[in-house]
Amino acid sequence: MTEVLDQFRPGGSLTRKPGYEDRPGQLAFVEAAELCFKDGGAALLEAGCGTGKTFGYLVPAIFDAVQHGRRVTVSTAGNLLAEQLTRKDLPLLQHLLPWEFTHALLKGRANYVCRSKLLDANSWPELRHSAHDDPASENEARRIADWGKLTETGDMSELGFAPDGSVWRQFSTTSEECRGSDCPRHGQCFANIAKHRSESVHVLVTNHHLVCADMLVRELTDGGQHALPGTPHLVIDEAHLFADIARDFFGYQVGRGAVSRIVRGLRRSNEAKLANELTFEATKFFTVVGAYGRSRDYKVRLRGRVEHLHVLATELARLLTAAEQAFERRMVGLPREAKADLRNMALSAFNAADRALEAVCVADVGKVYFIEQDKEGCGRLCAKVFDVADRVEAGIFSARRSVVLTSATLAVGGKFDFCRRELGVPREAKEIAVESPFRFEQQAMLVVPRSVPEPRDPRFAELAAAALIDVIRHCRGRTLALFTSHANLDVVHGRVQRWVTNEQSSLDGRLTHTLLKQGDAPRGDLVARFTRDVGSVLMGTSSFWTGVDVPGEALTGLLIDKLPFPNMSDPVVDRVQEDPGSFGGYMLPKAVITLRQGVGRLIRTRSDRGVVVILDRRLVDKGYGRVFLTALPRMQLSSSLEDIAEFLEEGEQDDEVRAG
Residue 505: pLDDT band (50, 70, 90) is low
Q: Is the pLDDT of residue 659 over 60?
A: no
Concatenated DSSP letters for 572-607?
HHHHHTTSTTHIIIIIHHHHHHHHHHHHTTS--STT
Q: Residue 122: its pLDDT value, please? A: 60
Task: Specify which residues 516 forms β-bridges with.
Answer: 538
Domain boundaries, the chain: 2-108+192-248+388-434, 113-188, 252-385, 440-659
CATH code reported for the domain at 440-659? 3.40.50.300
Domain pair 252-385 / 440-659, same fold: no
Mean pLDDT of the region 277-302: 97
How far apart, in whole angstroms, are the C-alpha atoms of residue 474 and residue 495?
A: 18
Backbone angles phi, psi at 488, to 5 degrees: -65, -40
How far apart, in whole angstroms, are the C-alpha atoms of residue 489 and residue 541?
A: 7
Q: Which helix (H) or strand (E) holds 383?
A: strand 379-385
On average, the pLDDT of the chain sits at 92
Q: Residue 124: its pLDDT value, please? A: 54
Q: Tell which CATH architecture fits domain 2-108+192-248+388-434.
A: 3-Layer(aba) Sandwich (3.40)
Q: Residue 375: its pLDDT value, please? A: 87
Residue 129: pLDDT band (50, 70, 90) is very low
Mode of pairing for the β-strands spanning 515-517 and 537-540: parallel
Mean pLDDT of the region 428-434: 96
User: Which of 167, 103, 163, 161 lies closest to 133 in space, CA to CA?
Assistant: 167
What residues contact 439, with CB distance under 8 A and at least 6 apart? 606
Q: Residue 647: its pLDDT value, please? A: 95
Which range, of 54-68, 154-168, 407-421, 427-441, averages the lowest pLDDT? 154-168
Which range, of 119-128, 219-228, 547-556, averages the lowest pLDDT? 119-128
CA distances from 41 to 38, 45, 58, 400, 402 (A): 9, 13, 17, 8, 5
* pLDDT tens per residue across span 312-337: 999 999 999 999 999 999 999 899 98
* pLDDT tens per residue across span 635-644: 999 999 999 9
Q: Residue 657: its pLDDT value, please? A: 44
What's the 3-state SS for 410-452?
CCECCECHHHHHHHCCCCCCEEEEECCCCCHHHHEEEECCCCC
Q: Residue 130: its pLDDT value, please? A: 45
For the chain, what's the residue count? 660
To the nearest whole percent, how much of the chain has pLDDT over 70?
95
Mean pLDDT of the region 37-64: 96
CA distances from 541 to 130, 483, 570, 594, 596 (A): 30, 5, 16, 12, 15
How far apart, in whole angstroms, are the C-alpha atoms of residue 560 and residue 591?
A: 13
pTM over 0.75: yes
- Over its C-alpha atoms, the chain yields an Rg (Å, rounded) of 27
Q: Residue 579: its pLDDT value, please? A: 92
Mean pLDDT of the region 11-20: 86
More confident site: 542 or 125: 542
Backbone angles phi, psi at 3, to 5 degrees: -65, -40
Query: Is 1.20.120 the CATH classification of the domain at 252-385?
Result: yes
CA terminus-to-terminus distance, the chain: 43
Q: Residue 637: its pLDDT value, please? A: 96
Mode of pairing for the β-strands spanning 379-385 and 367-373: antiparallel
* pLDDT tens per residue across span 139-178: 888 899 999 989 999 999 888 888 888 899 889 998 888 9
Q: Is the pLDDT of residue 131 over 50?
A: no
Q: Residue 21: its pLDDT value, please? A: 77
Q: Residue 79: its pLDDT value, please? A: 85
Q: Residue 1: its pLDDT value, please? A: 52
Most trustworthy range by pLDDT among 77-91, 306-320, 333-347, 510-524? 306-320
* pLDDT tens per residue across span 241-263: 999 999 999 999 999 999 999 99
